[in-house]
């Protein structure tokens, strides 16, 4: 009886080990998401990590174009961040160049990254300048200077940018409203330019009370990669705001779906 029992136990142990090895081999290994920033800062990194603390964030700003494009292929989404004005010559307003503070090298890098992002069909989010350069890259135009060219009752840029807020209204049928689950809200702002004419294929998803385009998205988003861009700075806002963390959560969800699709394609 003892010999039979030991043999039975050995067979059972072997079977259990084989089952465990097979399970380990076939189990899905969860990889941290990798999000690219066109130009990084702690505010953007912290905003991403409040949405998912395990995300690996890579900053492409100081890289050569070829190297940045190569690294982008290993990422699951890209966030185009705030910063200098886009060179006006790119949207037919070269005569207004003196009214802008530009960074041509950054423009060149980001236009190349936008083109590659669309080729890869990678999820895209734009903030402030990020919204503006996405619109220009697709053929839209910008207001050169809001106080001069589009004066109104809303302060879009203040001496203390941390205390500069105004209300926005989400368009009823927009993806933005669906994500935020809110019609209106207060946002923090710091810019003197904005989308003038949305590029073909894009639509305005939110407005300020003085008729400045505060968000853009695909006009028909079905079967297109995730794209959301806002003029305000959600990375500086309270995460309880419907126009901050819900947007990041939607972006990360799109990044996770993109990562899974890439893994399945291998």
Residues annotated as catalytic are 128, 233, 235
Per-residue burial over 16-42, b if 16 or more Cβ lie within 10 Å, else e, is eeeeeeeeeeeeeeeeebbbbbbbbee
CA distance 252 to 264: 18
Residues 98 and 143: beta-carbon distance below 8 Å: no
44 to 13, 74, 155, 222: CA distances (angstroms): 51, 20, 23, 28
Q: What contacts 31, CB < 8 A, 6 or more positions away?
A: 259, 263
CA distance 214 to 208: 6
Q: What contacts 57, CB < 8 A, 6 or more positions away?
A: 34, 35, 36, 37, 40, 44, 45, 48, 49
Which tokens hold the place of 135?
């619109």
């Amino acid at each position: 009886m003892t010999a039979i029992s030991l043999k039975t136990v050995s067979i059972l142990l072997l079977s259990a080990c084989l089952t465990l090895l097979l399970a380990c081999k076939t189990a899905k290994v969860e990889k941290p998401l990798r999000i690219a920033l066109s130009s990084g800062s702690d505010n953007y990194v912290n905003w991403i990590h409040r949405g998912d603390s395990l995300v690996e964030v890579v900053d492409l700003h100081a890289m050569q174009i070829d190297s940045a494009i190569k690294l982008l292929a290993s990422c699951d989404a890209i966030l185009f961040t705030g910063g200098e004005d886009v060179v006006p010559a790119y949207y037919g307003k070269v005569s207004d160049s003196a009214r802008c503070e530009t960074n041509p090298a950054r423009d060149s890098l980001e236009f190349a990254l936008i083109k590659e992002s669309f080729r890869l069909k990678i999820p895209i989010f734009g903030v402030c300048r990020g919204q503006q350069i996405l619109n220009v890259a697709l053929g839209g135009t910008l207001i050169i200077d809001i106080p001069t060219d589009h004066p109104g009752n809303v302060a879009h840029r203040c001496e203390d940018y941390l205390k500069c807020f105004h209300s926005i209204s989400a368009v009823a049928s927009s993806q933005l409203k669906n994500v935020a689950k809110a019609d209106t809200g207060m946002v923090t702002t710091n810019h003197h330019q904005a989308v003038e004419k949305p590029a073909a294929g894009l639509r305005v998803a939110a407005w300020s009370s003085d008729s400045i385009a505060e968000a853009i998205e695909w006009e028909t988003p079905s079967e297109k990669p995730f794209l959301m861009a806002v003029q305000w700075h959600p990375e500086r806002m309270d995460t309880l705001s419907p126009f901050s963390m819900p947007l990041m959560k939607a972006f990360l969800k799109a990044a996770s779906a993109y990562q899974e699709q890439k893994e399945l394609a291998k």
